[in-house]
Amino acid sequence: MTTRAGSLGPFMEANLAGHLVIDGCEALDLAREFGTPLWVVSERTIRRNVRTLLAAFRAEYAPTRLVYASKANPEPAIIRIGWQEGGLVDVVTMGHIELALAAGVPPSALVFNGNSKTLDELRWAAEHGMAFVNVDSLEEMEALAGVLPAGRPRVRVCIRLALDERPFASGDPEFAAQWAGAKFGMDEDDALAAAALAKEHPGLELAGLHQHFGWPVYGTPYDPDLDLARHAASLEQVVSFSLQLRDAHGVTPAVINLGGGYRSPRPHGVGPGGITVAPTAAEYARVIGGRLRELAREHELGEPELLLEPGGFLVSDAAVLLASVGLRKRRRGGEGTVDWVFLENTSSYHFVRRLMFDFRHHVVAAGKLDPPDSGTVSLAGPVCTDDNVALDVRLPALERGDVVAVLDQGAYCESVTSDYCAVPIPAAVLACDGRAEVIRRRARPGEIAAPFAVPAWLG
C-alpha cells in the first residue's frame, strides 16, 4: 500500500481528494503553476527542525548556538531562515559567501570552514570581520597571519582538530579506516604550533576548537547507538586537547565547535540503503551537550560556548522534488519483467548521492495517495546511463502527466545537482502555510550552451 502522507513529514498531509499537500500548498497546483521538475521547500519544517534541535541542546547545555551548514542547501532563502532563527552560517567558499550575502546575512554571522582557503578568501575574511575562521592546518594559520590588514579588529580563529582514528580501530574499524589520514584538521603537534602562533600574533584571537565528521553512514556500518558513540568519542578528543592547550599555552577555549552530522528518523527510510532509525534530538543533546557540561565542570573549563554545524537535520525532510510521468514501458527479460516509469526532464542526476551511495528517496504519487498500489515499478529519467530514481517500488497505476513526489530532497540534492546530458536544473519554490514563491528559477536549455565557445580556427 502507498504510505499515507501523515507519516511523510510534519507539514505534509493528504487532502480530501487524496492529493499531497506540502506546507499548505497542494502539490498538483504547484506543479501546474510552476511546472516540473520542481523542488518544493517547506519553510515551517525548517523552522521546526531548527527549534527542535536547539531546544534539545539548550536543555542539556544552555550556551549552545547553531551554525547552519549552508553546503547542505545553499539557497539564499534557506540560509536566511537559519539566520532569522538566530543562527550563524557556515560557509566553505567565496561562492558560499556570496550566497549568504545575497540572503542578507552580514559577514559577522559567517563561520569560514574548509581545508583549502585561498589567500584572497583569507584576506576577505580578515577584512570583513567574520564571526570565526576555522583554521584547518598550520600552513593556513601562517597564511592567515600573513594577510592580516593593519589596524583591523582581531580575527577570531578556531583550530580544527583531525579526528584521531586510533581509538576506533578495534571496535569500529571501518570508521577508523575512513578517517585514517583524512584531509581535514590538524594532528596534535600541528594544532599546538598553530595555537602558539595565534596566541602570539596581535591580529589573531585564539577563540576555540573545532571538529566535525559528518553523518557517519557512508561506507561504514550504521545504527543509532554507534552514531552516538562516535559523537561521544569525538567530544572526548576535543576536551582532551583542550587540557593540552591549557597546559601548553595557558589558553582555555571560549568556543567548542563540534560540527554536525545529525539526522531525523524517517520511517520510510532515507540515505544509503534506506536507513529508518536515527537518534532523536534529545539523544544527540544528552550525549554531546550533557557530557560537555559534565566534562567542563570536571576539568574546570568554565562554560565554553557550544557551536553546532547542522545541515541535514535542519533541511533534509523539508523539501520534495515534484516530477511528471512521461513514457512507460515493460521490459521483459530472462530474469523477469520490469515495469519502467520514465520521468520528464529529471533523474537521479539531480540528486546524485542516489547514485554515489545508493541513497534512498521514498516516492509517492502526489495525486493518488489513497488508492492501493497496482504493483511494482521502477522510475528513471532521460539520461544515457543508469539514472534510476527508485527501483522496485509499489505505487498506484501511473499515467502520462501524473506527478510523483520524491521525498527528503532538502539536503545535498540541490547543492550537488548536475545538468548531465544537458538536462536543465529544476526550479525551486518556498512554501509556507499555503503560499509559494520561486526561490530558484528553472534553468533553460539555451543557457546550458551559453558558457561554451568554439575556437575560430574550427571554422
What end-to-end distance do the CA atoms of the chain give, in Å? 59
- Of the candidates 115, 109, 118, 120, the residue with the CA atom closest to the CA atom of residue 134: 115
Cα separation, 121 vs 136, in Å, equals 14
Q: Could you say which DSSP state residue 6 is in?
A: G
Q: Which pLDDT tens digits describe the chain residue by residue (459 residues)?
A: 233 445 788 899 999 999 999 999 999 999 999 999 999 999 999 999 999 999 999 999 999 999 999 999 999 999 999 999 999 999 999 999 999 999 999 999 999 999 999 999 999 999 999 999 999 999 999 999 999 988 889 999 999 999 999 999 999 999 999 999 999 999 999 999 999 999 999 999 999 999 999 998 988 999 999 999 999 999 999 999 999 999 999 999 999 999 999 998 888 999 998 999 999 999 999 999 999 999 999 999 999 999 999 999 999 999 999 999 999 999 988 778 999 999 999 999 999 999 999 999 999 999 999 877 778 999 999 999 999 999 999 999 999 999 999 999 999 999 999 999 999 999 999 999 999 999 999 999 999 999 999 999 998
Let me know: does 443 contact 343? Beta carbons within 8 Å. Answer: no
Write down the pLDDT at residue 44: 98
Distance CA 130, CA 207 (A): 13
pLDDT of residue 431: 98
Q: Which amino acid is at 227?
A: D
Q: What's residue 430's pLDDT?
A: 98
Strand pairing class (110-112; 132-135): parallel
Spatial separation of the C-alpha atoms in residues 404 and 317, rounded to whole Å: 16
Instruction: State how far the Cα of 83 lies from the Cα of 89, in Å rounded to an integer.
Output: 7
The predicted structure's pLDDT at residue 12: 94
Output the pLDDT for position 150.
83
Residue-level pLDDT at 9: 85
Amino acid at 156: R
pLDDT of residue 1: 28
- Do 142 and 117 touch, CB atoms closer than 8 A? no
| 3-class SS string, 359-383 | EECCEEECCCCCCCCCCEEEEECCC
Q: How far apart are CA 329 and CA 326, in angstroms?
A: 10
d(CA 313, CA 342): 30
Predicted pLDDT at 210: 98
Pull the grid cell for residue 12: 505534509
pLDDT at 3: 39
Residue-range domains of the chain with CATH: 5-42+317-441 (2.40.37.10), 114-308 (3.20.20.10)
Please give the model's pTM, rounded to 2 decimal places: 0.96
